[in-house]
Amino acid sequence: MYNRAIQLAMYSPDVAVGLGSIVYALSKLDGQLQKEEAIVARELLGDCPYGDLSICALFLRDNVGESVEEASAFGLRRLAGHRVELNSQTKKRFIRILLRVARAHEGVSREEREFIRQFWRELQRL
């Protein structure tokens, strides 16, 4: 347990902001951040290193109405810029977070599933 906590805590605030941006992009696919998605995202991101920054990134993007494309591109740039911090456990955790957020409101749509697959492919390239 102790080693796992150390491994998860090994990424920077910049990665946390990137993750929050990706979660926002996913939740925005259906047009808006749903209440159920926001609750699950806040809960899951709050348990991550620098979770407060991830949560702030998500809600800031929602407040300004940023597009899925802009938020996703920003998040991927943040993650790519810190790729050395992303081990396989961290990448898998990010995917689990996305899946749980997608399930929070009416299950995982085809569009959400494709977004998560594409994000996984991007993570594997990093």
CATH code of the domain in which 48 resides = 1.10.3680
Q: What's the pLDDT tens digit per position in 37-84? A: 999 999 999 999 999 999 999 999 999 999 999 999 999 999 999 999
pTM to 2 decimals? 0.91
Q: Which of 74, 99, 89, 97 is nearest to 9 (CA)?
A: 89
pLDDT band at 16 (very low <50, low <70, confident <90, very high): very high
Whether 41 contacts 27, CB under 8 Å:
yes
Determine the pLDDT at residue 113.
97
CA-based torsion, 55, 73, 118, 68: positive or negative: positive
Residue 88 and residue 65: Cα distance in Å, rounded?
32
Q: How many domains does the chain have?
A: 1
Domain with 89 in it: 2-125
Determine the pLDDT at residue 10.
72
